[in-house]
Structure 1
């Protein structure tokens, strides 16, 4: 009898072992990743800011395609930091959920908001080392309003998640939080959810969030595990390629300044893309401006720089101001008192032609001078 009991026990243990092996999926090694290289001389940033929201809740500890979903999510952040060039963007990384050994808070801003560096994003993502806890995505989206409240311009919120909210938590609370963030940032904000897993309800949530942004899209995590896939994602979301061919110069205006009550547009000095160097063709016009200012010592000039719409607002703000300052420097070197000259940069906020054509963008890369009497 004892023999049969022993054999039964052994058979039962063996059966449990076999079932356990059948349920437990083998861990698949993370495939090698060769990042796509983007030359910063060929691209400008399409964004002023981006915030990554990383799901580190307990459901991310479940396996998908042979690995924990959380491992896949962390790898995506790493791949992004290896691929995206540093172009002056502001960046942040916020997580939600996570193990109590990482933080006892529901959501934490581990990186930023600060000027993006590849090293900074990669190192700070390593602090989110374990998944666990509930799935308060709505809490992270609400906290993101504080992260972004002092930032303006084109903004992307990248959410890496399986879309599985906490048990009993209704979908609308997450969508309401996403909508509130969209309302705060306006048309400049787009959502780019990255879906990890195969849960249909989770995918539906991510699609609904993207729809709230009205300008983003959902990407499946599997696609971003390859260098080419991540490269395409970075190009689609984060970058704008610089024009390869410059448009022909617009027709020059007469090299005589108009009446002092009107704006003077330096027509022969339209700037090349991404440049603030005055073309020699504009010197004669500016020399005429110098003659007028010397004959009218009570006249002051507001110099206003402008750009086309390629690139971020932050970058073009600086570029338009550099163009205005280049004209100011020219006038000062010709003997005009610097105290009579002031500079402003308007980026692409005041176009005089369509930015949808090369010719229109060329005309928007300009400097205007407004003579005033004080």
Structure 2
């Protein structure tokens, strides 16, 4: 278990309001990568350059817009990212440590307009081409297929994806679908189900719902782990009457609680700092501040706190917390502060 760190929070308080508190550590979410690599794999076949019936824009234009939005949400967690197109196969960005700005520049290179005539959809051969990238990667890889599911030439795309998974069992196929018919949608869903680790999403849904897009990115790229935060120990000081260094009964509960906290946390070391107001000579106030610090030191020792964990020092009138020109300010300055150094 990671050794807890301890931080000091000291506040100047009036004589009637001093106290000592201890707070337990809280937990904070940390992003951890689910994958070692990812390949964003858009379909650039002829059908992707046709207008989407529901969206009213060219499918690739919508897909490119969605991929740019997705890029804005992918956290930079050290995995490698690549961008390859299929049908026909085209390398846009070789595998490299993912950097949002560089990957965004690569996405801009995807053509928003291409001819449709005689551009069939060899989806199966396109999936098979992944072998040329996957052979150079190690670890878990997410392949994110962005397609309308059209497949009218070459091998069965589902069989091609299954063959890739058999060869590279650490590959997960995730799918963003722009399919407009049941057959195409079925092909894409079957691809996403290979290996039981893929995520399927409709491109229209991700474009319309930021929360859905955020969830897709999280499902593919990262998980959240709750990390305990360091425990925080807050030790408040105490105050003294004018020209006095004795501990008044009203402050004993504060110091008793402090002693208990210190005994429960034997790794803590503290500095006990004595202070005065500005009335009197500087030399006298220096000695008075040392007596005040020593009084708290002796109190803790009597309560069972090891002397070797503590150091008592005096600062005289050199470090006021408040204005010495007022009665209230001087009362605040007649104090001992307890500072945690470990």
Q: TM-score range by the shorter chain?
A: 0.5 to 0.7
- Show the 5 A alignment for 1:124-163: 124-129=106-111, 130-131=113-114, 132=116, 133-163=119-149
- Structure 2 unaligned spans of 5+: 1-27, 232-265, 268-342
Report if aligned partners of 1:96, 1:140 keep a CA contact under 8 Å in 2. Answer: yes
- The equivalent of 1:221 in structure 2 is 203
Q: Secondary structure at the match of 1:219?
A: strand
Report if aligned partners of 2:199, 2:220 keep a CA contact under 8 Å in 1. Answer: no
- The equivalent of 1:70 in structure 2 is 60
**Equivalent in 36, 41, 48 of residue 36 of structure 2:** 48
Q: Secondary structure at the match of 1:242?
A: strand
Displacement of 1:139 = 2.5
Q: Secondary structure at the match of 2:129?
A: helix
Alignment length (residue pairs)? 199
Report if aligned partners of 2:124, 2:151 keep a CA contact under 8 Å in 1. Answer: no
Within the alignment, does 1:230 sit opposite 2:237 as a pair? no
CA distance in 2, matches of 1:180, 1:246: 45
- The equivalent of 1:87 in structure 2 is 77
Q: Secondary structure at the match of 2:48?
A: helix
Q: Deviation digits for residues 31-81 of structure 1, max 9, x if unmatched?
A: xxxxxxxxx982111110111110111111222221111111111211111
Q: Which of the two has greater helix per residue?
A: 1
Q: Which structure is richer in relative contact order (CA contacts within 8 A, separation 6 or more)?
A: 2
Report if aligned partners of 1:53, 1:140 keep a CA contact under 8 Å in 2. Answer: no
Report if aligned partners of 2:31, 2:225 keep a CA contact under 8 Å in 1. Answer: yes
Report if aligned partners of 1:43, 1:240 keep a CA contact under 8 Å in 2. Answer: yes
Change beyond 3 A, Cα 1:41–1:150: farther
Within the alignment, does 1:123 sit opposite 2:115 as a pair? no
Within the alignment, does 1:96 sit opposite 2:82 as a pair? no
Displacement of 1:140 = 2.4
- Show the 5 A alignment for 1:271-286: none
Root mean square deviation of aligned Cα: 2.4
**What stretches of structure 1 move > 6 A for 4+ residues in a row?**
none
State TM-score, norm by structure 2: 0.54
CA distance in 1, matches of 2:125, 2:89: 7
Give the structure with higher Rg (CA).
Answer: 2
